[in-house]
Protein backbone atom coordinates (compact mmCIF):
# COMPACT_ATOMS: atom_id res chain seq x y z
CA UNK A 1 0.00 0.00 0.00
CA UNK A 2 1.36 3.48 -0.90
CA UNK A 3 2.10 5.72 2.11
CA UNK A 4 -0.58 8.27 1.13
CA UNK A 5 -3.20 5.56 0.94
CA UNK A 6 -2.05 4.01 4.19
CA UNK A 7 -2.41 7.41 5.84
CA UNK A 8 -5.94 7.78 4.45
CA UNK A 9 -6.93 4.39 5.85
CA UNK A 10 -5.37 5.19 9.22
CA UNK A 11 -7.19 8.49 9.51
CA UNK A 12 -10.48 6.90 8.51
CA UNK A 13 -10.01 4.32 11.25
CA UNK A 14 -9.11 7.04 13.73
CA UNK A 15 -12.22 8.97 12.75
CA UNK A 16 -14.36 5.88 13.22
CA UNK A 17 -12.82 5.22 16.63
CA UNK A 18 -13.43 8.82 17.65
CA UNK A 19 -17.06 8.62 16.54
CA UNK A 20 -17.76 5.48 18.50
CA UNK A 21 -16.09 6.90 21.62
CA UNK A 22 -18.05 10.11 21.27
CA UNK A 23 -21.30 8.15 21.46
CA UNK A 24 -21.02 5.98 24.58
CA UNK A 25 -24.80 5.99 24.86
CA UNK A 26 -24.93 3.52 21.97
CA UNK A 27 -23.03 0.96 24.05
CA UNK A 28 -25.06 1.64 27.16
CA UNK A 29 -28.21 1.31 25.17
CA UNK A 30 -27.18 -2.10 23.83
CA UNK A 31 -26.38 -3.33 27.33
CA UNK A 32 -29.44 -1.87 29.03
CA UNK A 33 -32.17 -2.96 26.61
CA UNK A 34 -32.31 -6.64 25.94
CA UNK A 35 -34.58 -7.07 22.95
CA UNK A 36 -34.18 -10.85 22.73
CA UNK A 37 -37.37 -12.87 22.92
CA UNK A 38 -37.55 -14.90 26.14
CA UNK A 39 -38.43 -18.55 25.61
CA UNK A 40 -39.56 -20.82 28.44
CA UNK A 41 -38.34 -24.43 28.58
CA UNK A 42 -39.15 -26.89 31.37
CA UNK A 43 -36.29 -26.82 33.95
CA UNK A 44 -34.82 -30.19 33.02
CA UNK A 45 -34.77 -29.30 29.33
CA UNK A 46 -33.27 -25.91 30.05
CA UNK A 47 -30.33 -27.51 31.87
CA UNK A 48 -29.96 -30.07 29.11
CA UNK A 49 -30.04 -27.36 26.41
CA UNK A 50 -27.40 -25.21 28.11
CA UNK A 51 -25.16 -28.28 28.52
CA UNK A 52 -25.62 -28.93 24.77
CA UNK A 53 -24.69 -25.33 24.08
CA UNK A 54 -21.44 -25.66 26.01
CA UNK A 55 -20.76 -28.78 23.98
CA UNK A 56 -21.44 -26.83 20.76
CA UNK A 57 -18.74 -24.33 21.73
CA UNK A 58 -16.27 -27.10 22.63
CA UNK A 59 -17.07 -28.72 19.28
CA UNK A 60 -16.26 -25.52 17.37
CA UNK A 61 -12.92 -25.37 19.18
CA UNK A 62 -12.11 -28.97 18.24
CA UNK A 63 -13.09 -28.34 14.62
CA UNK A 64 -10.83 -25.28 14.47
CA UNK A 65 -7.98 -27.25 15.96
CA UNK A 66 -8.44 -30.08 13.45
CA UNK A 67 -8.57 -27.57 10.55
CA UNK A 68 -5.42 -25.85 11.79
CA UNK A 69 -3.63 -29.19 11.89
CA UNK A 70 -4.83 -30.15 8.42
CA UNK A 71 -6.87 -33.04 9.87
CA UNK A 72 -9.77 -32.48 7.49
CA UNK A 73 -11.46 -35.84 7.86
CA UNK A 74 -11.46 -35.43 11.62
CA UNK A 75 -12.96 -31.91 11.32
CA UNK A 76 -15.64 -33.34 9.00
CA UNK A 77 -16.49 -36.18 11.35
CA UNK A 78 -16.66 -34.05 14.50
CA UNK A 79 -18.96 -31.57 12.79
CA UNK A 80 -21.32 -34.17 11.34
CA UNK A 81 -21.66 -36.15 14.56
CA UNK A 82 -21.75 -33.38 17.14
CA UNK A 83 -23.49 -30.54 15.25
CA UNK A 84 -24.73 -31.88 11.91
CA UNK A 85 -27.92 -33.62 10.92
CA UNK A 86 -26.57 -36.85 12.46
CA UNK A 87 -26.53 -35.16 15.89
CA UNK A 88 -30.25 -34.48 16.17
CA UNK A 89 -30.97 -37.51 18.30
CA UNK A 90 -27.87 -37.01 20.44
CA UNK A 91 -29.15 -33.54 21.35
CA UNK A 92 -32.76 -34.57 21.91
CA UNK A 93 -33.64 -31.98 19.25
CA UNK A 94 -37.09 -33.44 18.86
CA UNK A 95 -38.01 -32.92 22.57
CA UNK A 96 -36.72 -29.39 22.62
CA UNK A 97 -38.10 -28.15 19.29
CA UNK A 98 -41.71 -28.19 20.51
CA UNK A 99 -40.93 -25.41 23.01
CA UNK A 100 -39.29 -23.16 20.41
CA UNK A 101 -41.05 -20.51 18.34
CA UNK A 102 -41.02 -21.64 14.67
CA UNK A 103 -38.38 -19.07 13.66
CA UNK A 104 -36.08 -20.35 16.41
CA UNK A 105 -36.60 -23.94 15.23
CA UNK A 106 -35.63 -22.82 11.73
CA UNK A 107 -32.36 -21.36 12.98
CA UNK A 108 -31.64 -24.61 14.84
CA UNK A 109 -32.32 -26.64 11.71
CA UNK A 110 -30.20 -24.18 9.74
CA UNK A 111 -27.31 -24.79 12.13
CA UNK A 112 -27.52 -28.58 11.76
CA UNK A 113 -27.66 -28.29 7.98
CA UNK A 114 -24.76 -25.81 7.88
CA UNK A 115 -22.68 -28.20 10.02
CA UNK A 116 -23.37 -31.06 7.60
CA UNK A 117 -22.43 -28.78 4.68
CA UNK A 118 -19.23 -27.87 6.52
CA UNK A 119 -18.40 -31.59 6.79
CA UNK A 120 -18.54 -31.88 3.01
CA UNK A 121 -16.46 -28.71 2.57
CA UNK A 122 -13.85 -30.06 5.03
CA UNK A 123 -13.67 -33.35 3.14
CA UNK A 124 -13.21 -31.39 -0.10
CA UNK A 125 -10.44 -29.35 1.53
CA UNK A 126 -8.67 -32.62 2.32
CA UNK A 127 -8.78 -33.52 -1.37
CA UNK A 128 -7.89 -30.08 -2.81
CA UNK A 129 -5.52 -28.83 -0.10
CA UNK A 130 -7.39 -25.49 -0.13
CA UNK A 131 -8.92 -24.76 3.26
CA UNK A 132 -10.76 -21.55 2.33
CA UNK A 133 -14.08 -23.12 1.37
CA UNK A 134 -14.11 -25.05 4.64
CA UNK A 135 -13.45 -21.93 6.71
CA UNK A 136 -16.23 -20.09 4.93
CA UNK A 137 -18.57 -23.05 5.50
CA UNK A 138 -17.61 -23.01 9.19
CA UNK A 139 -18.51 -19.34 9.38
CA UNK A 140 -21.96 -20.28 8.04
CA UNK A 141 -22.30 -22.55 11.10
CA UNK A 142 -21.28 -19.85 13.57
CA UNK A 143 -23.60 -17.42 11.78
CA UNK A 144 -26.48 -19.61 13.00
CA UNK A 145 -25.17 -19.51 16.60
CA UNK A 146 -25.01 -15.72 16.31
CA UNK A 147 -28.48 -15.45 14.75
CA UNK A 148 -30.16 -17.45 17.49
CA UNK A 149 -28.27 -15.78 20.33
CA UNK A 150 -29.14 -12.31 19.12
CA UNK A 151 -32.84 -13.14 18.84
CA UNK A 152 -33.62 -15.44 21.81
CA UNK A 153 -32.82 -16.10 25.44
CA UNK A 154 -34.11 -18.68 27.89
CA UNK A 155 -36.32 -17.51 30.73
C1 LIG B 1 -31.73 -22.23 17.89
C2 LIG B 1 -31.06 -21.34 18.81
C3 LIG B 1 -29.62 -21.52 19.15
C4 LIG B 1 -28.58 -21.94 18.36
C5 LIG B 1 -28.61 -22.33 16.87
C6 LIG B 1 -27.41 -21.92 19.18
N7 LIG B 1 -27.71 -21.50 20.44
FE8 LIG B 1 -26.41 -21.33 21.99
N9 LIG B 1 -27.91 -20.67 23.19
C10 LIG B 1 -29.23 -20.46 22.80
C11 LIG B 1 -29.97 -19.89 23.89
C12 LIG B 1 -31.46 -19.52 23.84
C13 LIG B 1 -29.09 -19.77 24.98
C14 LIG B 1 -29.39 -19.16 26.35
C15 LIG B 1 -29.06 -17.68 26.28
C16 LIG B 1 -29.63 -16.88 27.45
O17 LIG B 1 -30.63 -17.30 28.05
O18 LIG B 1 -29.07 -15.79 27.73
C19 LIG B 1 -27.80 -20.27 24.50
C20 LIG B 1 -26.66 -20.33 25.28
C21 LIG B 1 -25.43 -20.73 24.83
C22 LIG B 1 -24.23 -20.81 25.65
C23 LIG B 1 -24.16 -20.52 27.14
C24 LIG B 1 -24.37 -21.86 27.89
C25 LIG B 1 -24.50 -21.71 29.41
O26 LIG B 1 -24.11 -22.63 30.12
O27 LIG B 1 -25.03 -20.67 29.87
C28 LIG B 1 -23.20 -21.19 24.83
C29 LIG B 1 -21.75 -21.42 25.22
C30 LIG B 1 -23.76 -21.37 23.49
N31 LIG B 1 -25.12 -21.10 23.54
C32 LIG B 1 -23.03 -21.77 22.39
C33 LIG B 1 -23.57 -21.98 21.12
C34 LIG B 1 -22.79 -22.29 19.94
C35 LIG B 1 -21.28 -22.38 19.88
C36 LIG B 1 -23.67 -22.44 18.92
C37 LIG B 1 -23.42 -22.76 17.47
C38 LIG B 1 -22.56 -23.86 17.12
C39 LIG B 1 -25.00 -22.21 19.47
N40 LIG B 1 -24.90 -21.93 20.80
C41 LIG B 1 -26.15 -22.28 18.71
C42 LIG B 1 -29.75 -20.75 21.56
C43 LIG B 1 -29.05 -21.23 20.47
Question: What digits encode the pLDDT tens for the residues 8-67?
Answer: 544 444 444 444 444 444 445 556 689 999 999 999 999 999 999 999 999 999 999 999
Number of neighbouring beta carbons within 10 Å of residue 83: 26
Q: According to the model, what pLDDT value does residue 31 have?
A: 61
Q: Whose CA is nearest to atom 15 of ligand 1?
A: 153
32 vs 87: CA distance, rounded Å:
36
**Distances in Å between the alpha carbon of 134 and those of 22, 47, 59?**
39, 32, 15
Cβ of 91 less than 6 Å from ligand 1:
no
Given its phi and psi angles, is residue 92 left (phi above 0), alpha (psi -120 to 50 degrees) or beta? Answer: left
Cβ of 143 less than 6 Å from ligand 1:
no
**Distances in Å between the alpha carbon of 47 and those of 40, 52, 56, 112, 122?**
12, 9, 14, 20, 32
User: From ligand 1's centre to the CA of 115, what distance in Å?
Assistant: 15
Amino acid sequence: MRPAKRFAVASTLAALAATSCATPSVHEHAAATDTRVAVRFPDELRRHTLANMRDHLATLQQIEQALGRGEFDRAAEISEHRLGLSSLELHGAHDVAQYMPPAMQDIGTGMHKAASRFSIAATNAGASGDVRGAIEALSAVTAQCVACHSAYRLE
